[in-house]
Structure 1
Amino acid sequence: MITASHNPPADNGVKLIDPLGEMLESSWEAYGTALANAESDQAVYDYYTQLEQKFNVNKDVVPQVIYGSDTRESSPALVQALKDALDAVGVKSQGFGAVTTPQLHYVVRCLNTQGTDDAYGEPTLEGYYQKISTAFNQLMANKLNGSVTVDCANGVGGPKLRELKKYLNGSIDITITNDDTETFSKLNSESGADYVKTGQRLPPSVSAQPLARYASLDGDADRIVYYYVDKNSVFHLLDGDKIATLAASFIGDLIHQSGITDFSIGVVQTAYANGSSTAYIEKLGLPTVCTPTGVKHLHHAALAYDCGVYFEANGHGTVLFSPTALKRIFAHEPKNPAQDTTLTHLKNITELINQTVGDALSDLLLVEVILAHKEWTPDLWDACYTDLPNKLEKAEVADRNIYKTTDAERKLTHPVGLQEQIDALVGKYDQARSFVRPSGTENVVRVYAEAATKSEADELAQKVKALLS
């Protein structure tokens, strides 16, 4: 997938999808890095030959690669370069044009599970729309929940959400904004999930009405955050933590009410998860686990449960059901009409969710279903727990690589002595915590701080940031 996600329009990059349609397992990154940094064409060939031998690759099998891109100005040239390379080495390939990253993940899984007991669906964009819309329309039968306005970051999510709307049979009123994909400079500019989450503010193009629902996608539509303004016009963010707790509690209720027992549900978070969300999940009686930042880490941790819910605070996440859990759900015999209805809802939830990766379009529909079933307005959702005030800062440093972390990135091991200084600052504030970690995408270090009040969180973040200068 050729995309730079939530990055500025001038950037571009590549996301690699494994054969199950999931994030590429991190151990493969070293091989990709070595190939990318090879000093010559011959070095590329030699290293690839080593990998071919190491993994005992069958050279008689013709590999197949599918690819897509977002709507950046540089994407067509990169797509052409990729196609030329694939053609040169005799690989069977198929381009899907401009697609969301999660749609390409979906198609990969469908292609590689065709004809098996784990067949995931029709490996086309039409199949994607049909699968999630059918489940959504059944879940929304006889349900009304008003409208939602979706900011598409002027990225590929805009045209794809418009296409998806055609399949929803009017079961929800979706207003689409920031969907200009022709003006390249507008991508992720003063719009999108990262803009809203980082600044904790409305996109300038959105004139919010009190208690109406709003959501923002990112440039390749693999993350989503919700938000609203209250009756006093105060902005409230409903981020990935809020989505995770909403999904976990709703699915937990469906499991219980359908009569299924001995079923494990777990929530996977990162260090950025608000402390109040973790406390709320534990109050629900659900286990939580913290992993390093990055969806690849959360995804693999979620596989340990019958149902694993994972979301980063930035809105990137999904829900996974294990193959065994899915078999149990679809084989379960309800004992009464109420259980039968609940079980039908549960089955449709498993079809609505794109389990390959975080999917803003699928997650949007999931949230809308849950709010409709609970008959909740955004303020009622928000009232489940109150986030501790927090602040996220970036610090430019000479070399981000000198910052080494442990404990799921919540503690520093290097530079030596810096963690003790951070701990000393944290101890001066109520309900406080702070951590420092190197960015995975920029030559900066990120500073996160939480405290009992906004002024304390802001002050703590600035003081920790000052330690880095």
Structure 2
Amino acid sequence: MNNLPVHQAIAVGASKHPHKGKNVFSYGTAGIRCRADILDPVLYRLGLLVVLRSRAVRATIGVVITASHNPEQDNGAKVVEPMGEMLLQTWEGYATQIANTSDEDLGQCVQSLISELNIDMALPANIFLARDTRPSSFGLAQALIDGIQALKGDYIDYGLLSTPQLHYMVRCQNTQGGYGNPTEHGYYSKLASAFTKVREQQSETDESEYTGELSVDGANGIGALKIQQMCQHLNNQLKISVYNDGTHGQLNDRCGADFVKVQQKPPHGMPTEEAGRKCVSLDGDADRIVYYFVDSDGVFHLLDGDKIATLIAGYIQELLTAANLQLNMGLVQTAYANGSSTQYATDVLKVPVACACTGVKHLHHRAQDFDVGVYFEANGHGTVLFSALATEKINSASQDERLSSDQRQAATTLKYLQDLINETVGDAISDMLVVECILHAKGWTMTDWNAAYTDLPNRQLKVKVKDRRVIQTTNAERCATTPAGLQEAIDGIVSKYNNARSFVRPSGTEDIVRIYAEADTQVAADSLAYEVATKVYHLADGVGDPPAQPSSS
């Protein structure tokens, strides 16, 4: 095939992966994601696209085949940019375009992109690819490879990797090892070494009640495999027991970070009877993480992305102050962040808070405005970004003999902490190690951490509408601009409740409007959400049954 003209090579490949044209595909923040049994022609087309992208940027590009927290019968693919970031937004449009192009028009579509983007097809193209543990992933990887080969691209198939691991390897490759060694062993070695060095900088007091024993829910996915491999590099510094490890049960079935976050209860297959037991859930591709525990009264407590973000931001702020480093630091959240976390970060931690639209790519971009930008979605997906200036100042301070030993030690801890953080994307394994370092430094139990602030009760609802586009928003999705009168109505409803707020936003994929509400009590939050949902139903052409009144009110 490699010796055929471009149009003919594309056509030969397409004949093995025919596009039946019955489905419409869309590439968004989560890549392309849908039922696995209809994805074969899409993966072939993405193989073509990433070869074009690699040549356009003259760098290695990554593709990971995964559907994250979706059920096992689903699958999808995410494209990774040269520095380990998500696909450039303009190229999301090209991905959507090529994914929906018929077999007959595919060659012309590719040629049009080559001409429009002025791509030199004589340049080399290099692709890194990996997949999660879904049964469908292996076959879809072959479709991707066929697309890559049709345009004479080179590739390395890493097999089974977590999504963050592939992001890491792409960045390593394009920094010529400056970010680390682009191998799976290199990933574990870098994180384990940094974890050990951070812990060595910390002095544990006799009063410390910290314990390094964790129960990890692997969501029956790739994270279960990779966290066990990570353990082999940690030299027993943590005692990790892995549950839902894929030997029994289906991926994300009543387990995983998304299940725990949405259901507000422990996953199946995970012992939580022991009061205060430190529990962790990863999602299906190991880029999200949430912590939780059950107290002595049997009450479940979730420490989600907001709790993780404030823990990390507060600790980094302490180190910056101790090292006397003047850097611009900020915490980036979405409108879904609990109001108590925002108030705690602003009033107690004294860390500026910025709000971005929902979607990790929006938070990542906003975090780049700071020298040190911490970002997390409430669902547990997040990381920390350090600017080149921050990296330079931290490294310099760690070696500056003019500073006191305490200042140098704080800077050194920051330097190793940066090595422990996967800056390319949210990484459940990296984030877990960061959290454990901070809890160790503070000598905190789960109860201590949870006591930092108390979440405001909240409720999320959704309303089916004729056309979600009738809802338009501004101010990072916190204010509705259409339909006329909706925001004024929401403001009036919110004013009746104490310590309350509510916002609405359209779904990105279906004709649904999502409602978020929080207030001083759960009864009030439920009632507020119901009132706002009812107003959306009437003003935004709701379909089906109107929202049901909450039983608690």
Larger mean Cα displacement after TM superposition, 204-213 or 269-278: 204-213
Which residue, 56, 67, 86 being the options, matches 2:148?
86
Larger mean Cα displacement after TM superposition, 292-301 or 392-401: 392-401
Q: How far does the alpha carbon of each residue in 1:89-109 deviate from its partner, in whole angstroms, 9 at most, with x for none?
A: 211011111211000100000
Query: 1:388 and 2:456 equivalent?
Result: yes
Alignment partners' CA distance in 2, 1:105 and 1:389:
35
Q: How far does the alpha carbon of each residue in 1:170-194 deviate from its partner, in whole angstroms, 9 at most, with x for none?
A: 01111111111675xx211111111
Alignment partners' CA distance in 2, 1:76 and 1:164:
24
Instruction: Tell me which residue corresponds to 2:65.
Output: 2
1:444-463, aligned counterparts within 5 Å? 444-463=512-531
1:184-203, aligned counterparts within 5 Å? 186-203=250-267
Alignment partners' CA distance in 1, 2:216 and 2:183:
24
Alignment partners' CA distance in 2, 1:395 and 1:137:
49
Contact 1:155–1:181 (8 Å) recurs in 2: no
Instruction: Tell me which residue corresponds to 1:75.
Output: 137
Alignment partners' CA distance in 2, 1:359 and 1:443:
31
Residue 395 of structure 1 aligns to a residue in which SS?
Answer: strand
**Pairwise CA distance, 1:42:** 4.7
Alignment partners' CA distance in 1, 2:472 and 2:351:
31
Instruction: Tell me which residue corresponds to 2:311.
Output: 246
Which residue, 67, 75, 79 being the options, matches 1:12?
75
Alignment partners' CA distance in 2, 1:61 and 1:134:
37
Alignment partners' CA distance in 2, 1:298 and 1:393:
23
**Pairwise CA distance, 1:71:** 1.2
Q: Look up the equivalent residue of 1:304 and give its one-letter code.
A: D
TM-score by length of 1: 0.95
Query: 1:294 and 2:359 equivalent?
Result: yes
Instruction: Tell me which residue corresponds to 1:363.
Output: 431
Instruction: Tell me which residue corresponds to 2:547.
Output: none
Alignment partners' CA distance in 1, 2:328 and 2:458:
31
Residue 205 of structure 1 aligns to a residue in which SS?
Answer: coil
Instruction: Tell me which residue corresponds to 1:162.
Output: 228
Larger relative CO (CA 8 A, sep 6+): 1 or 2?
1
Residue 14 of structure 1 aligns to a residue in which SS?
Answer: strand
Contact 2:291–2:302 (8 Å) recurs in 1: yes
Alignment partners' CA distance in 2, 1:60 and 1:286:
49
**Pairwise CA distance, 1:443:** 4.5
Instruction: Tell me which residue corresponds to 1:36.
Output: 99
Residue 331 of structure 2 aligns to a residue in which SS?
Answer: strand
Residue 221 of structure 2 aligns to a residue in which SS?
Answer: coil
Alignment partners' CA distance in 2, 1:392 and 1:360:
25
1:394-413, aligned counterparts within 5 Å? 394-413=462-481
Contact 2:472–2:505 (8 Å) recurs in 1: yes
**Pairwise CA distance, 1:432:** 1.1
Q: How far does the alpha carbon of each residue in 1:373-409 deviate from its partner, in whole angstroms, 9 at most, with x for none?
A: 0001111111111111111223333433332221111
Task: Classify 1:153/1:49 alpha carbon distance in 2 versus 1 (closer, same or farther; 3 Å).
Answer: same
**Pairwise CA distance, 1:340:** 2.8
Alignment partners' CA distance in 2, 1:79 and 1:226:
32
Q: Look up the equivalent residue of 1:226 and give its one-letter code.
A: Y
Task: Classify 1:182/1:79 alpha carbon distance in 2 versus 1 (closer, same or farther; 3 Å).
Answer: farther
- Residues matched between the structures, number: 462
Instruction: Tell me which residue corresponds to 1:342.
Output: 410
Contact 2:519–2:525 (8 Å) recurs in 1: yes
Larger mean Cα displacement after TM superposition, 348-357 or 430-439: 430-439
1:50-199, aligned counterparts within 5 Å? 50-114=112-176, 119-141=178-200, 145-180=211-246, 183=249, 186-199=250-263
Alignment partners' CA distance in 2, 1:54 and 1:267:
38
Alignment partners' CA distance in 1, 2:416 and 2:189:
13
1:300-379, aligned counterparts within 5 Å? 300-332=365-397, 333-334=400-401, 335-379=403-447
Residue 219 of structure 2 aligns to a residue in which SS?
Answer: coil
Query: 1:439 and 2:518 equivalent?
Result: no
Alignment partners' CA distance in 1, 2:509 and 2:419:
33
Alignment partners' CA distance in 2, 1:190 and 1:394:
21
Contact 1:281–1:288 (8 Å) recurs in 2: yes
Alignment partners' CA distance in 2, 1:398 and 1:165:
50
- CA-based RMSD of the aligned residues comes to 1.7
Instruction: Tell me which residue corresponds to 1:21.
Output: 84
Gaps of at least 5 residues in structure 1 are none
Alignment partners' CA distance in 1, 2:344 and 2:283:
27
Alignment partners' CA distance in 2, 1:188 and 1:401:
31
Larger mean Cα displacement after TM superposition, 68-77 or 349-358: 68-77
User: Bigger radius of gyration, 1 or 2?
Assistant: 2
Q: Look up the equivalent residue of 1:15 and give its one-letter code.
A: K
Query: 1:256 and 2:321 equivalent?
Result: yes
Q: How far does the alpha carbon of each residue in 1:321-351 deviate from its partner, in whole angstroms, 9 at most, with x for none?
A: 1122111111221522222322221111000
Q: Look up the equivalent residue of 1:425 and give its one-letter code.
A: I
TM-score by length of 2: 0.81
Q: How far does the alpha carbon of each residue in 1:201-243 deviate from its partner, in whole angstroms, 9 at most, with x for none?
A: 1113233221221111110010101111222121111111111
Contact 2:212–2:237 (8 Å) recurs in 1: no
Which residue, 289, 294, 301 being the options, matches 1:229?
294
Q: Sequence identity, in percent?
A: 50
Alignment partners' CA distance in 2, 1:69 and 1:446:
31
Instruction: Tell me which residue corresponds to 1:416.
Output: 484
Q: Look up the equivalent residue of 2:219 and give its one-letter code.
A: A
Residue 12 of structure 1 aligns to a residue in which SS?
Answer: strand
Alignment partners' CA distance in 1, 2:475 and 2:463:
21
Contact 1:156–1:181 (8 Å) recurs in 2: no
Q: How far does the alpha carbon of each residue in 1:396-454 deviate from its partner, in whole angstroms, 9 at most, with x for none?
A: 33433332221111122233333233222212211111111122345432211101101
**Pairwise CA distance, 1:134:** 0.5
**Pairwise CA distance, 1:465:** 2.3
Query: 1:205 and 2:269 equivalent?
Result: yes
Residue 447 of structure 2 aligns to a residue in which SS?
Answer: helix
Larger mean Cα displacement after TM superposition, 345-354 or 379-388: 379-388
Contact 1:306–1:324 (8 Å) recurs in 2: yes
Gaps of at least 5 residues in structure 2 are 1-63, 205-209, 543-553
Residue 7 of structure 1 aligns to a residue in which SS?
Answer: coil
Instruction: Tell me which residue corresponds to 1:217.
Output: 282
Contact 2:395–2:412 (8 Å) recurs in 1: no
Q: How far does the alpha carbon of each residue in 1:237-280 deviate from its partner, in whole angstroms, 9 at most, with x for none?
A: 111111111101101111111232x2111000100011111111
Alignment partners' CA distance in 2, 1:436 and 1:96:
41
Residue 250 of structure 1 aligns to a residue in which SS?
Answer: helix
Task: Classify 1:19/1:42 alpha carbon distance in 2 versus 1 (closer, same or farther; 3 Å).
Answer: farther
Alignment partners' CA distance in 2, 1:207 and 1:164:
22
Residue 254 of structure 2 aligns to a residue in which SS?
Answer: coil
